[in-house]
C-alpha cells in the first residue's frame, strides 16, 4: 500500500497536516488530468456539468424549472407589469405552469391540456400556442437578464451615473456619485468585474472633477488607469490559464504563443508578491504550475496563496482556482509522485470545509465519488465511511441513491468485504452512465476476487454487449472498458500457477495498450500470479 495511518481519522472532515505516512510500496499511477474511482477515467475537473434533471419538452419548460420559488414569484410580478408585458394570456399561461411547479416540482401537462384551460371550448391551435410559448420564453429570458444585471448593485449605479453625465444633470450626478462610491465600501468578492467597476467609478470621478484643478484630476485619472491595468491583467491571466489547461488536455500538434502575455508574466514574476493584488497573484501562480509543472515550489506557492486569499473571491472563482491545484496534484500522481495523494486529499478537505465544493447547496455526485476515491487510496476507511453517510443528503435527488450505494460498495471492496459489494450493487438503479460503467467494472473485479468464475464469465459477455450497444458512451470510454473485458478474459485464461514468462507477456501487452480501465488492478493481479506459490513445510 502507498500509505498507512498513524492513527484513525478524526470525526470532523478536515484532517490535520502530515496525517499520513508513506510506505515503500508505490501504487500504480492514475490517468492524466482527471480522477474517477475504479476506472481512473478522466472527467474534466472544471468542465463536467451536472446533467439537468429536466424533461426538456420546450424552452420555457427548461427555463422555468430552473427558477427558485422566489424567482417564480418575481417573474409572476414581472408578467403582470404592463411595462414588460401587455399580453393578458401570458400571465394566465404562466399561472397554470406555476401551479404545477408548486404542486409537483415539474411541468407535466401537454400543450392541448393547457390550451383547454386557457381557451375553454375553442379548438386547439398549435400555431397560436407555440407563439404563446415563444413570447413567454422571451419574457423569461428578459427577466433572467434583468436578474443578472441587478445582482450586483454597481451595474445599475454606474450606468445611472453615465446617463446623468450624458444629460449634464450635475446636481443629481454629485449626489448619485456619493451613493455609488458608498457601495464600494461594502465588502464584496474580489474579481475582474470588481476591478472593472472600480475603474469605471474612477473615470466617473474624473468627469466629475473636470476643471476642478489639474493636480487632483491627474491623480484621479492615474487611479483609473491603475484599476484598468489590474482588470485587464486579471482577465488576461484567467483565460490564459484556461487556455493552458486545454492545451495540456488536448496536446495539440500546432504550437501557439502569446508574445505580450509571455512578457507580461515575466514582468509580474519580478514584482514583490505583496505588491500584486490577490486575484492576479493567484492566477500568476496557477500559470506557473501549468507552464513549469516540474517545479514543485510553484504548487506550494499556489497552495499558500489559496489558504491566505480564497475567502476574498466569490464561490465559483475560488472553486475554479482549487480545481487547478487539484489537477496539478492528479498529474503528479499520474506521473508516479504519489506523495501528492495527501495533497489532493487536503485540497478536497479544505474546499469542503470552506463550502466551495457545493453548488446551490448540493454536492456533485462526481466530487462525492472523487473524495471517496482519494480517501480509500490513503486507506482512510473510517473517514470515507463517515463522509459517505454524512454527505449523502447533499447529493441531488436524482443521483443520491445511485451515488450513495456505489460509493458504499466501493468502500466494502477496498476492505475486501466482497459479499457486501455484490449485495449493494444489486440494488442500484442507474441514473448516470459513468456510475453504471464503474459499477459493472467493480462487480467484475469482485467476481474475480471471490473466484466466482461462472458469474464472471456471464458478466464479461453481457458487459461486452452492453458496451457495444449502449448509446451515450464516448468511443474513448467504450475502448477503455472493452479492453478491461479483454484483459480480464486473458487473465482468466492463465493457469493458477502461471509461469513468469506468461504473466510477463501479458503484462507487456497491458503496458503497450494505452486505454485500459482499471489497468492498476490488472497489474496487481498479474503480479500476484507471477509470484511462486508458498510451499507447505
User: What digits encode the pLDDT tens for the residues 43-91?
Assistant: 334 333 443 333 334 788 889 988 988 999 999 999 999 999 999 999 9
Given the C-alpha cell 415539474, which residue does it identify? 106
Helices (H), 185-277: 192-208, 214-250, 259-269
The helix (H) or strand (E) run that includes residue 431 is none
Low-confidence ranges of the chain (pLDDT < 70): 1-57, 210-216, 496-498, 532-537
Cα gap 433→48, rounded to integer Å: 14
Cα gap 94→180, rounded to integer Å: 36
> Which are the contacts of 262, defined by CB distance < 8 A and separation ≥ 6?
none
pLDDT at position 398 is 87
Judge whether 158 and 180 are in contact, CB under 8 Å.
Answer: yes
Cα gap 342→348, rounded to integer Å: 10
The alpha carbon of 348 is separated from its chain's Cα centroid by a whole number of angstroms, namely: 12
Which residues, in sequence order, are bridge partners of residue 5? 20
The domains located in the chain, with CATH, are 60-151 (no CATH), 154-246 (no CATH), 398-532 (1.25.40)
Cα gap 159→153, rounded to integer Å: 10
What is the chain's alpha carbon radius of gyration, rounded to the nearest angstrom? 29
> 411 to each of 38, 56, 377, 396, 408, how far by Cα in Å?
11, 36, 10, 21, 5
Cα gap 425→439, rounded to integer Å: 7
> Which are the contacts of 25, defined by CB distance < 8 A and separation ≥ 6?
1, 2
Cα gap 38→421, rounded to integer Å: 13
Cα gap 150→106, rounded to integer Å: 27
Phi-psi region of 7 (alpha: psi -120 to 50; beta: other; left: phi over 0): beta
Residue length, the chain?
Answer: 537
Closest C-alpha to 98, from 77, 115, 73: 73
Q: Reduced to 3 states, what is the DSSP secondary structure of residue 5?
A: strand
Judge whether 476 and 36 are in contact, CB under 8 Å.
Answer: no
Judge whether 372 and 407 are in contact, CB under 8 Å.
Answer: yes
Which residues, in sequence order, are bridge partners of residue 30? none
pLDDT at position 253 is 75
CB half-sphere exposure, 457, CA atoms < 13 A: 5
- Say how many Å lie between the first and final Cα of the chain, rounded: 28
> Which are the contacts of 204, defined by CB distance < 8 A and separation ≥ 6?
158, 161, 162, 165, 177, 180
> Which are the contacts of 165, defined by CB distance < 8 A and separation ≥ 6?
173, 204, 207
Amino acid at each position: 500500500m502507498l500509505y498507512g495511518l498513524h492513527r484513525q481519522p478524526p470525526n470532523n472532515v478536515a484532517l490535520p497536516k502530515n496525517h499520513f505516512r508513506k510506505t515503500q510500496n508505490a501504487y500504480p499511477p492514475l490517468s492524466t488530468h482527471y480522477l474517477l474511482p475504479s476506472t481512473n477515467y478522466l472527467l474534466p475537473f472544471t468542465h463536467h456539468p451536472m446533467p439537468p434533471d429536466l424533461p426538456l419538452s420546450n424552452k420555457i419548460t427548461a427555463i422555468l424549472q430552473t427558477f427558485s420559488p422566489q424567482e417564480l414569484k418575481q417573474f409572476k410580478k414581472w408578467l403582470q407589469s404592463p411595462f414588460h408585458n401587455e399580453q393578458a394570456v401570458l400571465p394566465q399561461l404562466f399561472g397554470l405552469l406555476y401551479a404545477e411547479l408548486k404542486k409537483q416540482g415539474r411541468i407535466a401537462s401537454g400543450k392541448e391540456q393547457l390550451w383547454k384551460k386557457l381557451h375553454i371550448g375553442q379548438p386547439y391551435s398549435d400555431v397560436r400556442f407555440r407563439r404563446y410559448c415563444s413570447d413567454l420564453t422571451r419574457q423569461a429570458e428578459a427577466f433572467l437578464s434583468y436578474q443578472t444585471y441587478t445582482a450586483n448593485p454597481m451595474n445599475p449605479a454606474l450606468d445611472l451615473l453615465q446617463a446623468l453625465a450624458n444629460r449634464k444633470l450635475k446636481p443629481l450626478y454629485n449626489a448619485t456619485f456619493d451613493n455609488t462610491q458608498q457601495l464600494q465600501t461594502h465588502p464584496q468578492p474580489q474579481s475582474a468585474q470588481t476591478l472593472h467597476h472600480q475603474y469605471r467609478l474612477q473615470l466617473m470621478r474624473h468627469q466629475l472633477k473636470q476643471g476642478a484643478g489639474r493636480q487632483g484630476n491627474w491623480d484621479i485619472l492615474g487611479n483609473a488607469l491603475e484599476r484598468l491595468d489590474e482588470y485587464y491583467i486579471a482577465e488576461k491571466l484567467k483565460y490564459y490559464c484556461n487556455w493552458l489547461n486545454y492545451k495540456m488536455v488536448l496536446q495539440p500538434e500546432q504550437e501557439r504563443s502569446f508574445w505580450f502575455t509571455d512578457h507580461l508574466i515575466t514582468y509580474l514574476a519580478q514584482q514583490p508578491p505583496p505588491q500584486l493584488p490577490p486575484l492576479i497573484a493567484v492566477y500568476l501562480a496557477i500559470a506557473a504550475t501549468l507552464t513549469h509543472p516540474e517545479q514543485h515550489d510553484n504548487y506550494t506557492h499556489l497552495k499558500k496563496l489559496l489558504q491566505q486569499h480564497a475567502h476574498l473571491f466569490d464561490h465559483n472563482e475560488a472553486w475554479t482556482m482549487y480545481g487547478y491545484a487539484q489537477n496539478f496534484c492528479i498529474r503528479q500522481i499520474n506521473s508516479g509522485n504519489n506523495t501528492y495523494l495527501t495533497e489532493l486529499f487536503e485540497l478536497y478537505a479544505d474546499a469542503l470545509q470552506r463550502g466551495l465544493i457545493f453548488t446551490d447547496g448540493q454536492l456533485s455526485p462526481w466530487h462525492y465519488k472523487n473524495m471517496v476515491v482519494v480517501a480509500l487510496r490513503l486507506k482512510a476507511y473510517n473517514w470515507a465511511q463517515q463522509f459517505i453517510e454524512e454527505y449523502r443528503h447533499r447529493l441531488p435527488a436524482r443521483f443520491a441513491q445511485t451515488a450513495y450505494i456505489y460509493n458504499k460498495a466501493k468502500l466494502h471492496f477496498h476492505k475486501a468485504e466482497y459479499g457486501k459489494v455484490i449485495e449493494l450493487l444489486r440494488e442500484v438503479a442507474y441514473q448516470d452512465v459513468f456510475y453504471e460503467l464503474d459499477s459493472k467494472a467493480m462487480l467484475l473485479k469482485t467476481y474475480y476476487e471471490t473466484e466466482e468464475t461462472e458469474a464472471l464469465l456471464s458478466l464479461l459477455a453481457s458487459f461486452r454487449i452492453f458496451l457495444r450497444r449502449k448509446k451515450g458512451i464516448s468511443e474513448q470510454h467504450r475502448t477503455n472498458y472493452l479492453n478491461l473485458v479483454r484483459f480480464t478474459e486473458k487473465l482468466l485464461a492463465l493457469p493458477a500457477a502461471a509461469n513468469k514468462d506468461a504473466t510477463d507477456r501479458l503484462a507487456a501487452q497491458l503496458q503497450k495498450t494505452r486505454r485500459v480501465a482499471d489497468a492498476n488492478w490488472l497489474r496487481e493481479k498479474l503480479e500476484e500470479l507471477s509470484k511462486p506459490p508458498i510451499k507447505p513445510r
